[in-house]
Amino acid sequence: MRFCMWAVLLLPLFLGSFGVEGIEHGSVHTERISGSAGDVLEDNPVGRLKVYVYELPSKYNKKILQKDPRCLTHMFAAEIFMHQFLLSSPVRTLNPKEADWFYTPVYSTCDLAPNGLPLPFKSPRMMRSAIQLISTKWPYWNRTEGADHFFLVPHDFGACFHYQEEKAIKRGILPLLQRSTLVQTFGQRNHVCLNEGSITIPPYAPPEKMQSHLIPPDTPRSIFVYFRGLFYDVNNDPEGGYYARGARASIWENFKNNPLFDISTDHPTTYYEDMQRAIFCLCPLGWAPWSPRLVEAVIFGCIPVIIADDIVLPFADAIPWEQIGVFVDEKDVPYLDTILTSIPVEVILRKQRLLANPSMKQAMLFPQPAQSGDAFHQILNGLARKLPHDKRVFLKPGEKVLNWTAGPVGDMKPW
């Protein structure tokens, strides 16, 4: 298990340094990244894998969505759109015997509080109930105890199903999901809630809304650093130091007087337009290390400055984030201005060229209907790269690895 983790993390190194070639893409000069394994971003997964979609009763998916249609627009909407995509995708197979991967459509992040934030309290029970269903109705779960199944868990801390980090760590990943592949937005190295072999995906950001706010590319980029969001979470952590591990508060205290840093807690209507006029966009951690700001920065060509220690970014094995973004340790935040101004100009221009590459932007989006090279296809590419399954995951009949009674007592209640 641990070996696999190291293998996944060292995979980019084994793939060789990513070569870069400059091409004339239409009238815009962009750069393309080609690894020694080829253009990983532009791989076509069709034909390389087959996915079987379980038919679950609608109480696991449709009924939940009907109760609250806000699930289609918040940042966890990837689970719903993935289901819709797979239903009509050419990789779908109706014959489970020839399937490489099995998908269980459970909308675990769709139980919303009145203010729109998802409540994860019932999600473990929902998952257990779904897994119990598929293990009794179909033989494929018991065959491998879920090793060739994948689930989408886009919540704050993935399959730990809690929004508070301490509690999430205490719970750990749901025991029944330990052998499955988890497709999640959360990614942090050496964290309980990130299994080796998980696929990190970007959070959902509405593509049409972003496309409708594009401004002409010759608008000069005059803002040096841009950020809009909270620095102190006044409701939950008024003194600061807890939220974002103090990094956001540090940004505010150090740079509120700096004219180069356009940072505030405003909610301007020109947020997307302003990002297109900025050179650097800060993407610091919040309560969880990931945020839709990364997606927005990539779409709008603003170099993301990622301030989150040990974060694992989406599709890290396909996208060379060190070449596109700037990584700043949380302890170096007070010296952010020095760090950013000491980046050589050629490096900055190169990063902007890489960001201008349309395949990069496409890989971060979940467009409806799906287009080639988008995030759905990257997920399938990631799943295809994990094939063929190791022979050892196939269990002998009667052999049991998972402990069905592990976990807090509250999870055992039927849903």
Partner 1 sequence: MKQLTALQQQGRRSNSFRNASSPLDATVDGAIKSPATIFWLVLHGLCCLISLVLGFRFSRLVFFLLFSTSSSPSATTIYSALQTTLPSSGVTSTPERNVSAGTGGSRVVVGRHGILIRPWPHPDPEEVMKAHRIIETVQTEQRSLYGVKNPRTVIAITPTYVRTFQTLHLTGVMHSLMNAPYDLIWIVVEAGGATNETASLIAKSGLRTIHIGFNGKMPVLWEDRHKLESRMRLHALRIVREQRLDGIVMFADDSNMHTLELFDEIQNVKWVGAVSVGILAHSGGSEEGELSMVQRDNNETDEKKSEVPVQGPACNSSNHLVGWHTFNTLPYLERSARYIGDRAVVLPRQLEWAGFVLNSRLVWEDKLEKPVWVKEWEDVDRDGEDVESPLSLLKDTSVVEPLGSCGRKVLLWWLRVEARADSKFPARWIIDPPLDITVPAKRTPWPDVPPELPSSAEKVVTIPESTEKRPTKSGSRRKRSSRSKRKHSAKVLDDRLSTRNPGDN
Residue 405 within binding range of partner 1, rule CB under 8 A: no
Residue 411 within binding range of partner 1, rule CB under 8 A: no
Least separation, in Å, of the C-beta of 184 and partner 1? Answer: 17
Site for partner 1 in 300-319 (CB under 8 A): 309-310
Q: In this chain, which stretch among 62-70, 129-137, 211-219, 361-369 interacts with partner 1, using CB under 8 A?
A: 211-219
Binding mask 255-284 for partner 1 (x = CB under 8 A): x-xxxx------------------x-----
224, 271, 327, 415: which one binds partner 1 (CB under 8 A): 224
How many residues of this chain interact with partner 1, rule: CB under 8 A?
Answer: 63
Q: Is the distance from CB of 244 to CB of 285 less than 8 angstroms?
A: yes
170, 209, 389, 413: which one binds partner 1 (CB under 8 A): 170
Residue 340 within binding range of partner 1, rule CB under 8 A: yes
Least separation, in Å, of the C-beta of 139 and partner 1? Answer: 35
Residue 374 within binding range of partner 1, rule CB under 8 A: no
Least separation, in Å, of the C-beta of 316 and partner 1? Answer: 17
Residue 327 within binding range of partner 1, rule CB under 8 A: no
Q: In this chain, which stretch among 89-97, 117-125, 138-146, 204-212 interacts with partner 1, using CB under 8 A?
A: 117-125
Residue 341 within binding range of partner 1, rule CB under 8 A: yes
By CB under 8 A, name the binding residues for partner 1.
28-29, 113, 115, 117-119, 156, 163-166, 169-170, 188-192, 216-218, 220-222, 224, 233, 235-236, 239-242, 245-246, 249-250, 253-255, 257-260, 279, 287, 309-310, 330-331, 333-335, 337-338, 340-343, 345, 348-349, 352
